[in-house]
Structure 1
Amino acid sequence: MNDVFGFVSLIVLGCGIYTLYAYIKMKKTGEINEILLLGNAYVAKKCKNKKAFLEKALPSVLVFGIVTTIYGVIDMINSFVKPVGIVDTIANILFLIVLVGFLVYTTKLKKQYF
């Protein structure tokens, strides 16, 4: 069973690293990462104000990327190196709070700018 959680921690870490990469790329290019921010229902070309959308979305992407990466590392340590119990639980709760906040916030932004 611990192998399954270890696999999940690898996926979470990969998502965190991808999110940080997407943040850097969006910051440099000014293009919206459709996979991370929009999903299938929206197309970046239909954004009413791409610059304003990115200005509001990028801070949440950065926070989400940092928290996800840190949680992935903590969970990997918990799964593969040494159980850290309460630290992993706190990181998990923080990750879930940030994840829900990110989803709610970006959904509001999509409704406002698309």
Structure 2
Amino acid sequence: MGIGQKPTLHCKVNASATRLTSLQRKMAKKYMVECKFHNRRGIKTHIKVAMYTYARFLDLKEYFDAAWLICNTKCTSKTIEYRCMEIKNTSWAYPPGRWSLENMIERKHL
């Protein structure tokens, strides 16, 4: 392209696509997910599960941005408090509201 010539539409699209890809990379997070399944009622997921999930995350931190603990039971209050260690938590009644496992199952009629 010479001086004073306008860039073609093709060049603009490529530049926009490059910026979008760069933005997507900045926004995308890679989660290391630990899924716990309990087959008896009344069991809660205890803090030791969150602790070993976090320990695994530290071992693999070069590959992941954050850890995520997902379980089909309620978590103890200590487990929920431990989320400050870069662990996202999804369980039967946590987080309160729309994104708890219980509410997601009810919304999808599963």
- Superposition TM-score tier, normalisation by shorter sequence: under 0.3
Give TM-score scaled by structure 1 length.
0.27
Give TM-score scaled by structure 2 length.
0.27
- If asked which structure has higher relative contact order (CA below 8 Å, sep 6+), I would say 1
Whose helix fraction is larger, Structure 1's or Structure 2's? 1
| Larger of the two Rg values belongs to structure | 2
